[in-house]
Structure 1
Amino acid sequence: MNHTPYKPRTALLPLLAALVLAGCATSASIDGNALPAIPAAFKEGAPIATAAAQPQAQGTWWKAFADPVLDQLVEQAGRNNNSIQVAAGRLRQARAIAGATNADRLPQVGLSAGAVRQKNSTTGNVAATEVSARANFSYEIDLLGKLSLASSAASLDADSREALLRSTRLLVQADVAQTYLNLRALDAERTLVRDTLQAYRNTLRLTEIRFKEGDVAELDVARVRTEVAVTESDALALDRRRAQLEHALAVLVGEVASNFQVAPTEWATALPVIPAGVPSTVLVRRPDVSAAQSTLQAAQARVGVAKAAWFPTFALTANGGSAAPQLSDLFKASTGVWGISALLSLPLFDGGRREAGVQNASGEMDVALANYREQILVAFKDVEDQLSALRLLAEQSEAQSRSVASATRATLLSDSRYRNGYVSQLELLDAQRSELRNRRQALQVKTAQYLATVGLIRALGGGWA
């Protein structure tokens, strides 16, 4: 068998070795050049570890956020989420199919018993009864590994389903965490907006008093009333968004939205810091990559199954038993019958059916290889996305903090100047609007940092150690 020389540089080596060994057994090789080359480092500068690793079980990564409510929600979703239950059901189906396929490799033994009452010429047209008991044995000898390859393919399908179950769990955990963090961010923003609204209402009362006393014009009252109405509208919009997030969270944890509630509270969730040096073991840690790998190996085995159809099959069968006119005579030596047979079969002409089967299996392997390559590319793309997001968000957060500090100082100065009659109320309102806008933007940047952290953990397969 000829294989294209290829020297993978990192975590692809164990996978490629497995595929080459499988290729020798199935006469279907995998071109190593079809797999993407692994860079020495991520674009964001994080080095890639070159040591190969085995798939790891996902840990309780969400506990790094140190939020008891989040812990409870994720654990509840693990028990009740419908997507997880569907994936678990499909895994059970795949394992059952693997068990049924593996049973074809084992001897088949059966028992049968019957009774016949008949009248014919051999009995002198007299009704007679015959009772019988038989044991049957059959076994197909797996000369060329066809049955073992089919069993291996079914087992790999089950492995793929198991990996997809882990992938579904990780996806649900990440969705719960991100939805919850968005909810807490909205709680913080709602508090900020409502505090600002209360300040505007206090300003409106004072302005209305000064207007009655003739100290200010009606225009000043109208301006403050506008700010109160606009801010009230913003607060209600945030309430609406929070209700929708709470309902979405209810579906994720498997609860009826009408009975589900997450009480508003202060946003005190910790932000984990993922250290530099993200390993390339993401290729084998990510369950979706692992699922694609198992699917590719199963498709490779099925090419061998299809090719084995060109070769003869050899089966052994045996049966033995007794037949007698009376039940009491059934097991006497004189009533015993037995038989052994061997069958060698080889179709000579099938109209191209076997060749079509080989081509179909080869096409499925090409599709599986392309899907596996896509999963690798997506894995690196996801990690790069989140690494760049975290780096840029850290810089943006620093800039936004300076903006908030400046806006807060501007509001204090404008308020002082307004109270001393140096500037109009319009300047003060502009300063207050600017401060509110900058504080809300700072919250949005903070939220994005939390969401990107969850996204990176998910991209790394549920951990970073």
Structure 2
Amino acid sequence: MKTLRRAPVRAVLAVVAAALLAGCAVGPDYHAPTTPDLPVTWQVEQPWRQAEPGDAIDKGRWWLRYNDAQLDALQQKALANNPTVAIAIARLTQARATLDASAAARYPQVGLGARTQRFKISANRPLTNYSTPNFETVQNDFALVLTASYEIDLAGRVKRLVEGSAAAAEQSAADLANVRLLLSADLATNYFNLRSTDIELDVVTRSIALQRRALELVTARHDLGAVSGLDVAQQEALLQNTLTQVDLLKKQRAQYEHALATLTGTPAPAFAVAPDLTPMTPPAIPLGLPSEVLQRRPDVASAERAMAAANAQIGIATAAFYPSITLAPAVGVDSRMIESLFDAPSLLWSVGVSATQVLFDGGRVRANVNFAQGGYEAAVANYRRVVLTAMQEVEDGISGLAALDSATRQALSAVAASRRVLDMSTTRYEGGASTYLDVITAQQAVLNTERQVAQLLGQRLVTSVFLVKALGGDWCSTSQDGAPGCG
């Protein structure tokens, strides 16, 4: 009797000892990567300035810095309706659910089972004792049993499983942030391309009006016999060529508009953006240190969390080398009469421990560990690739904006010069000092330079968006009304 009473005590002591052993975990502990080969600073030109970004600062609504209400509305619509964002949100939900399921393995699983049956025992069943005959019986069986099962995390398999699931959930959160950043950047790029096309269309339309008046002038002079029909034909050819450019620009604009429709989750036939010729200027984008890009870019964060998840997989695979120990206590009642089900003689209980240890598997466990190790090494290489790409994209954005700013200033000077050339060519032609071909050439030069200015404006805006994306989004905290600022 004393031996029976000591059995639960011994079981409890075994559980305590196992819990103490479960504090360790096999496999390597994860350490955040170091990047000693990062440059100290960017290769910049004036008027760039350094910012002081931090990992906790909101990088969200960077597009508000462009002060365009239409762009703001499209961004909000895209973030709410875009299917790609919805997919990323669903995957994050799945990852968090997986984490909850993995964390549940830290606790015992408790179940309640009930059984009721009426059955007959055969009199011809095999004997258990030659001196005791079998008898046929018909009886009831009522049982209610509370069971528990708990895996002792001797090798830290559950600990590594939770670590890996937590890292995967954080990776999914970073992926969602990256999807939103890419979506907002893609939408802004198409929007600014559409706006620059509107400006370019306006330039071409105004040029057509001037060319029509020039055609009327040269036609009137031809009717008076002052010029030949060649001058009229040359002006007509220039006008028709310019009209062709209008059709091509409208086609290009429609493609940008259709892209905006898809990004905002709207069917293309039901979407339209009215032309807007409001002048646009990229915001001044401050730069932090190269190392701060690693904190700001969600794709870098995702790659780093992927390494943590892959590292945990090594521990999970290594735990298979160690015994698997499970506690399975149970307590309940069992009776052939329901009215005596909860009487003291109906009580039953058990305390058991099961353990399994792989003795020979042909190298399967070792192969799984090697597979996990290879996955971690691939994650490390991918992290390095993402970091190098981030550095390249920021430098591309910096040098690109600097070159486009210089080109825009030169293009504006070219517009002024080409207009002076057109005025002089027209005066010389009217005075008979030159042919009409000089006027045609000057008209074409004005059109080309003005279109180039419109194109450079669009390129500057698009490149600024590219740089914002390369830097990981916005760079300062937002105010209470949601507008970003560096106050």
Normalised to the residue count of structure 2, the TM-score between the two structures is: 0.86
Deviation at 1:270, TM superposition (A): 3.5
Q: How far apart in 2 are the matches of 1:278 and 1:285?
A: 11
Which residue number in structure 1 is paired with residue 99 of structure 2?
Answer: 98
1:387 corresponds to which of 398, 414, 430: 398
Deviation at 1:299, TM superposition (A): 0.8
1:265 corresponds to which of 276, 280, 299: 276
Structure 2 residue runs of 5 or longer lacking an equivalent are: 1-23, 124-133, 477-487
Q: How far apart in 1 are the matches of 2:274 and 2:53?
A: 45
Deviation at 1:95, TM superposition (A): 1.0
1:120 paired with 2:121, answer yes
Q: Which moved more, 1:405-414 or 1:340-349?
A: 340-349
Which residue number in structure 1 is paired with residue 16 of structure 2?
Answer: none
Deviation at 1:430, TM superposition (A): 0.4
Q: How far apart in 2 are the matches of 1:26 and 1:53?
A: 32
Which residue number in structure 2 is paired with residue 444 of structure 1?
Answer: 455
Which residue number in structure 2 is paired with residue 374 of structure 1?
Answer: 385
Deviation at 1:426, TM superposition (A): 1.1
Which residue number in structure 1 is paired with residue 422 of structure 2?
Answer: 411
Q: How far apart in 2 are the matches of 1:442 and 1:384?
A: 24
Which residue number in structure 1 is paired with residue 328 of structure 2?
Answer: 317
Where 2:328 maps in the other structure, the secondary structure is: strand
Which residue number in structure 2 is paired with residue 281 of structure 1?
Answer: 292
1:154 paired with 2:155, answer no
Deviation at 1:55, TM superposition (A): 5.2
Q: How far apart in 2 are the matches of 1:247 and 1:93?
A: 32
Q: Please give the residue correspondences for 1:289-328 in structure 2 after superposition, counting only pairs within 5 Å.
A: 289-328=300-339
Which residue number in structure 2 is paired with residue 5 of structure 1?
Answer: none
Equivalent pair of 1:40/1:48 in contact (CA under 8 Å): no
Q: How far apart in 2 are the matches of 1:234 and 1:198?
A: 14
Structure 1 residue runs of 5 or longer lacking an equivalent are: 1-22
CA RMSD between the two structures: 2.3
1:235 corresponds to which of 246, 265, 269: 246
Deviation at 1:277, TM superposition (A): 4.8
Which residue number in structure 2 is paired with residue 87 of structure 1?
Answer: 88
Deviation at 1:268, TM superposition (A): 2.7
Q: Please give the residue correspondences for 1:324-335 in structure 2 after superposition, counting only pairs within 5 Å.
A: 324-335=335-346
Equivalent pair of 1:36/1:373 in contact (CA under 8 Å): no
Q: Percent identity?
A: 35
Q: How far apart in 1 are the matches of 2:462 and 2:298?
A: 20
Against the structure 1 CA distance between its residues 329 and 145, is the aligned structure 2 distance closer, same or farther, given a 3 Å change threshold? same
One-letter amino acid matched to 1:69: Q
Q: How far apart in 2 are the matches of 1:463 and 1:328?
A: 72
Which residue number in structure 2 is paired with residue 170 of structure 1?
Answer: 181
Equivalent pair of 2:151/2:325 in contact (CA under 8 Å): yes
Q: Deviations over 1:364-413 (max 9, x none)?
A: 00000000011110110110000010111111112212211111111111
Against the structure 1 CA distance between its residues 278 and 214, is the aligned structure 2 distance closer, same or farther, given a 3 Å change threshold? farther
Question: Higher Cα Rg: structure 1 or 2?
Answer: 2
Against the structure 1 CA distance between its residues 55 and 358, is the aligned structure 2 distance closer, same or farther, given a 3 Å change threshold? farther
Equivalent pair of 2:108/2:148 in contact (CA under 8 Å): yes
Which residue number in structure 1 is paired with residue 207 of structure 2?
Answer: 196
Q: Deviations over 1:137-174 (max 9, x none)?
A: 01112123220111110110010010000000000000
Deviation at 1:415, TM superposition (A): 1.6
Q: Which moved more, 1:385-394 or 1:197-206?
A: 197-206
Which residue number in structure 1 is paired with residue 373 of structure 2?
Answer: 362
Q: How far apart in 2 are the matches of 1:95 and 1:29?
A: 20
Q: How far apart in 2 are the matches of 1:114 and 1:67?
A: 70
Equivalent pair of 2:317/2:369 in contact (CA under 8 Å): yes
Q: How far apart in 1 are the matches of 2:305 and 2:292?
A: 16
Which residue number in structure 2 is paired with residue 110 of structure 1?
Answer: 111
Q: How far apart in 1 are the matches of 2:222 and 2:49?
A: 68
* Residues matched between the structures, number: 442
Which residue number in structure 2 is paired with residue 7 of structure 1?
Answer: none
Q: How far apart in 1 are the matches of 2:45 and 2:30?
A: 35
Against the structure 1 CA distance between its residues 24 and 338, is the aligned structure 2 distance closer, same or farther, given a 3 Å change threshold? closer
One-letter amino acid matched to 1:220: D
Q: Which moved more, 1:166-175 or 1:51-60?
A: 51-60
Q: How far apart in 2 are the matches of 1:75 and 1:30?
A: 38
Against the structure 1 CA distance between its residues 230 and 278, is the aligned structure 2 distance closer, same or farther, given a 3 Å change threshold? farther
Q: How far apart in 2 are the matches of 1:292 and 1:36?
A: 17
Deviation at 1:419, TM superposition (A): 2.3
1:351 paired with 2:362, answer yes
Which residue number in structure 1 is paired with residue 234 of structure 2?
Answer: 223
Normalised to the residue count of structure 1, the TM-score between the two structures is: 0.90
Which residue number in structure 1 is paired with residue 446 of structure 2?
Answer: 435
Q: Deviations over 1:59-96 (max 9, x none)?
A: 31100000000000011101011111111111111111
Q: How far apart in 2 are the matches of 1:139 and 1:24?
A: 17
One-letter amino acid matched to 1:85: A
Q: How far apart in 2 are the matches of 1:119 and 1:27?
A: 58
Equivalent pair of 1:135/1:319 in contact (CA under 8 Å): yes
Against the structure 1 CA distance between its residues 370 and 450, is the aligned structure 2 distance closer, same or farther, given a 3 Å change threshold? same
Equivalent pair of 1:28/1:303 in contact (CA under 8 Å): no
